[in-house]
Each structure stands twice: as structure tokens, then as C-alpha cells.
């Protein structure tokens, strides 16, 4: 017999909503056996009540009127799966005002308005649970908040966008162009018809904002994050980087230095082939976290999809129903932005290694010019590849890997290089990220 029946209202009956409804209605018995909680889907709200869905709801619970959910005082948990920021924000605020705890997978909303929503939740004595907002089925939010609570987090490196990882994996493994790989991802359902938010890195930035605010205990704004997408990545650079021992991934990176300065960035990153993240292929997600006591921990799993995301939503529902989410939420100490904003490190100050590809005229003196510009900017070369043979317009690709150097120096060097007559197209520059290896 159930120790407790938990009535749930769901707003948004799309893909993830259907997954959540499916889990709650079809697996209620086994969830009850494991947790003692009888989950009961009491109300499902969507503007579209007609389109058939791949799940059978109990009779009479589907409605387009959110007030039916808000006014039902026997429903203590509201799940917002509408997506987007405007309507979803109003829905969450209404759920909180109606005395319901909120479970959500909405990363865009939390990244943009999380602090306002968390404040509203605190003021109404409720909580917001959002495991599903970051990396779908990968339990990274609870990992950071609970599993690593004894640690000061020094860095995290995440592959948190399945669309980009699928595209880059295809470009790497099958030598496809970006456009081919994107089309294939769309065909297979791993990319949206409008993939902009994914391929520009915006979605990864949303997730990084949420994860970094937990990991570093600071309110993070999207503006704090430097973002570069994968739209202009070419398969040639993936191949040349591969020759140097690197694999290209879109990484979301959060680092805190010993002065508590926080650096946050999303960009295409060459990482060593033998790093664990290099083996994360296709639509999978993974996050490597470095803690002061635990060293390196990695979480790996499906970052999206109906059932993996629903798994995280229902885990949150269970956690809320047990009362644990409320405790964790109360103890999520975020320092106010006023105190932490000056501690965000600017991208210009980033120290990194860089991969630079120049398409140069195949004539004497070019290397001397390049060498002079790099030297003037105090950039030291760690490796060069120039294959024999010619590219289009009598140009050849020269690929340079640098030793660690400051971003601003590289930016300046690239500007000078771009002005040379002997360099025939805009220089390509990709950061090489040396993820610290916690090894024996």
C-alpha cells in the first residue's frame, strides 16, 4: 500500500510531457514499489487538446484551462514543460502563487530568469526542481548539489548539447560537411527544424549558466558567458586537428581560479584524443567536474529525448514529493550578483592554447611573415603542419598549434595576419583545451 499519494499537474503536453505522462501512468506500480509514493497524474494542460499523443491519459484530465490545475488544492506539484521564456515564466509564477512546487526542464527560462523565479519560490515557501533542465538524463544537477557537496568545484567541462555533439561526431567520423551533418541530424530527429539555438552555442550557454551558478555558488547571467557556436566549423580543421591528436567538441567550460575569478565559455574546443570526453559520441552528453577533494568525476548519459528527459523530470517529482527538493532548494546558497559580478573573468584574459589555420600563398617569405607577427605578439609555436600539394588559388593550408598564450595576443595576431597579402582567407582559430587529467 502506498504511504502517500502524490497528485501531479502537468503543463505542456509535447514530447517530454508525453514521456512524463507515460512514466507516471504506466510505471506507477514499480515507482510505488521503489519509493512508497503513488504518483497520480491529475491534470494535463495544453492549448492543443486534440492532436493524438503516444500515451493514454486517464479520462477527463486533459484541458486547455490552466485554472483547473491552479484551483485544485489537492495537486501539490506543477510540472512546467511548455518551453520558451515568456508564457513559461508566467505559468511557473502562477503555480508558485497557487502554492505548488514546480518541476521544470526549461533551461532557457532558468538561465534568463532563474534568480527571479527562485526568489518567488522562496517567498512563497515552495521549491523549483530542475534536474531535467541540464543534460537530460544525466543527473548532473543533483551530482553537483548533493554528491559533491563537500567539494569546492574548481572546474567543469561539459558536452551538454546533443545536437552539436551529433553533428561534430558525424563530421569527425564520416568526414561530412557541417551542412550534410546538420541535415542528417535533422532527419534523425537530433536537431530541430530551426537549429539556431543549438548550433550557435546558446543552448549550451543556458545550461552552463545553471550548472555554474550551482557549482560556484554565484548568480550567473548569460552575459557572463563567452559563446561561439559550431556553424563555421569545417571538416578540414577537424581533420588537421585530428592529425595533431585532437578531437573537436563543443564544450561548456566553467573554471574558478585560486582568486575566485570565474571564467565561463562555450566554444568549439580541440581536446586530447585520450581524454574521456573525446569518446563521448553522437547525441550523448557528459560533464567532467573537478572537485577539491574528489578529484575528477564524470557523468555520462543521454542529454535529450522523450524518455531520458522524462526520467529526470520524474526523479525530481519523487524528490519533491519526499520533501528532499525543498531542503536542497532552501540550502542552495547563491551569492548575490552584486558581489560576484566583478569576479567574472573576461575572455580577453583567457590563457589557452590555440589552433590556427592560415590559407597562404605558396611562395617564399610567407613563413617569415607569419613568424614575425606571432613573435611580435609573444606567441610561441608548439606544432606546425604544412602538407605538400596545393589548395585552391595556389594556396596551401598552414596549421599552427600554439603554447599557452593570452587570448588578446592571439586576437591581435589574427588581425595582423588577416591583413597580409599572402594570406588569402580569414584565419581560422580554435581553442585547444587542455583538460587537466586526474591520473595515477
Choose which of 166, 240, 246, 355 interacts with a second copy (CB under 8 A): 166
Is 283 a binding residue for a second copy by CB under 8 A? The answer is: yes
Q: In sequence order, what are the residues at sequence separation of 6 or more whose Cβ sits closer than 8 angstroms to the Cβ of residue 30?
A: none
Which runs of consecutive H residues, i.e. helices, occur in 188-283? 196-199, 202-216, 235-243
Is 381 a binding residue for a second copy by CB under 8 A? The answer is: no
Choose which of 61, 87, 322, 396 interacts with a second copy (CB under 8 A): 322
Task: Look at residue 182 and give its three-state secondary structure.
Answer: helix
In the complex, least distance from residue 253 CB atom to a second copy, rounded to whole angstroms:
18
Is 195 a binding residue for a second copy by CB under 8 A? The answer is: no
- How wide is the angle at C-alpha 123 spanned by C-alphas 122 and 128, nearest 5°? 35
Give me the residue label for grid cell 563521448: 280
Fill in the per-residue mask, 233 to 272: x = in contact with a second copy (CB under 8 A), - = not in contact.
----------------------------------------
Choose which of 133, 328, 377, 407 interacts with a second copy (CB under 8 A): 328
Q: What is the DSSP letter of 334?
A: P
In the complex, least distance from residue 181 CB atom to a second copy, rounded to whole angstroms:
12
Give, rounded to a whole angstrom, the gap between the first and last alpha carbons of the chain: 49
Residue with Cβ nearer a second copy (29 or 52): 29
Cell of 91: 505559468
Give me the residue label for grid cell 510505471: 27
Q: How far is CA 220 from CA 1, 260, 265, 335, in A?
A: 44, 14, 12, 10
207 is known as an active-site residue: yes
CB contact at 8 A, 161 and 167: no
In the complex, least distance from residue 35 CB atom to a second copy, rounded to whole angstroms:
5
> What does the alpha-carbon distance between residue 193 and residue 113 come to, in Å, rounded to a whole number?
26
Is 315 a binding residue for a second copy by CB under 8 A? The answer is: yes
Given 207, 235, 249, 409, which residue is catalytic?
207
Q: Which residues are catalytic?
A: 207
Residues of the shown chain interacting with a second copy in the complex, contacts defined by CB under 8 A: 19, 23, 27, 30-31, 33-37, 131, 137-139, 142-143, 146-152, 166, 188, 190, 217, 274, 276, 279, 281-283, 291-302, 305, 307-308, 310-315, 317-319, 322-324, 327-328, 330-331, 333, 335, 438-440
Amino acid at each position: 500500500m502506498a504511504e502517500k499519494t502524490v497528485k501531479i499537474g502537468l503543463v505542456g503536453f509535447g514530447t517530454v510531457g508525453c514521456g512524463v505522462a507515460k512514466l507516471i501512468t504506466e510505471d506507477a506500480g514499480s515507482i510505488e514499489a521503489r519509493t512508497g509514493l503513488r504518483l497520480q497524474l491529475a491534470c494535463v494542460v495544453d492549448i492543443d487538446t486534440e492532436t493524438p499523443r503516444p500515451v493514454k491519459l486517464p479520462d477527463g484530465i486533459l484541458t486547455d484551462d490552466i485554472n483547473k490545475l491552479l484551483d485544485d488544492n489537492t495537486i501539490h506539484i506543477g510540472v512546467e514543460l511548455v518551453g520558451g521564456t515568456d508564457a513559461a515564466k508566467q505559468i511557473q509564477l502562477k503555480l508558485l502563487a497557487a502554492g505548488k512546487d514546480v518541476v521544470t526542464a526549461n533551461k532557457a527560462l532558468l538561465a534568463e530568469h532563474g534568480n527571479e523565479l527562485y526568489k518567488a519560490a522562496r517567498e512563497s515557501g515552495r521549491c523549483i526542481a530542475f534536474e531535467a533542465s541540464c543534460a537530460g538524463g544525466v543527473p548532473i544537477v543533483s551530482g553537483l548539489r548533493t554528491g559533491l557537496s563537500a567539494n569546492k568545484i574548481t572546474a567543469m567541462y561539459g558536452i551538454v548539447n546533443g545536437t552539436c555533439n551529433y553533428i561534430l561526431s558525424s563530421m569527425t567520423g564520416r568526414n561530412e560537411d557541417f551542412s550534410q551533418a546538420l541535415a542528417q541530424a535533422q532527419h534523425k530527429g537530433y536537431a530541430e527544424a530551426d537549429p539556431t539555438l543549438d548550433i550557435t552555442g546558446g543552448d549550451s550557454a543556458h545550461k552552463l549558466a545553471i550548472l555554474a551558478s550551482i557549482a560556484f555558488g554565484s548568480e550567473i547571467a548569460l552575459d557572463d558567458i563567452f559563446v561561439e557556436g559550431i556553424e563555421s566549423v569545417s571538416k578540414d580543421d577537424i581533420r588537421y586537428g585530428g592529425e595533431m591528436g585532437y578531437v573537436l567538441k563543443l564544450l561548456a567550460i566553467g573554471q574558478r581560479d585560486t582568486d575566485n575569478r570565474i571564467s565561463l565559455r562555450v566554444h568549439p574546443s580541440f581536446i586530447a584524443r585520450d581524454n574521456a570526453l573525446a569518446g563521448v559520441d553522437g547525441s550523448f552528453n557528459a560533464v567532467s567536474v573537478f572537485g577539491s577533494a574528489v578529484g575528477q568525476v564524470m557523468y555520462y548519459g543521454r542529454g535529450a529525448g522523450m524518455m531520458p528527459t522524462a526520467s529526470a523530470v520524474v526523479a525530481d517529482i519523487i524528490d519533491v514529493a519526499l520533501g528532499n527538493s525543498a531542503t536542497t532548494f532552501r540550502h542552495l546558497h547563491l551569492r548575490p550578483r552584486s558581489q560576484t559580478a566583478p569576479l567574472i573573468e573576461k575572455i580577453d584574459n583567457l590563457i589557452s592554447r590555440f589552433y590556427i589555420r592560415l590559407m597562404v600563398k605558396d611562395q617564399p617569405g610567407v613563413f617569415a611573415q607569419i613568424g614575425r607577427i606571432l613573435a611580435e605578439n609573444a606567441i610561441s609555436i608548439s606544432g606546425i603542419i604544412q602538407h605538400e600539394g596545393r589548395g585552391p588559388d595556389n594556396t596551401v593550408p598552414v596549421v599552427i598549434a600554439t603554447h599557452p598564450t593570452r587570448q588578446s595576443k592571439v586576437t591581435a595576431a589574427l588581425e595582423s595576419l588577416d591583413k597580409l597579402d599572402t594570406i588569402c582567407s580569414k584565419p581560422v582559430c580554435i581553442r585547444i583545451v587542455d583538460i587537466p587529467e586526474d591520473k595515477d
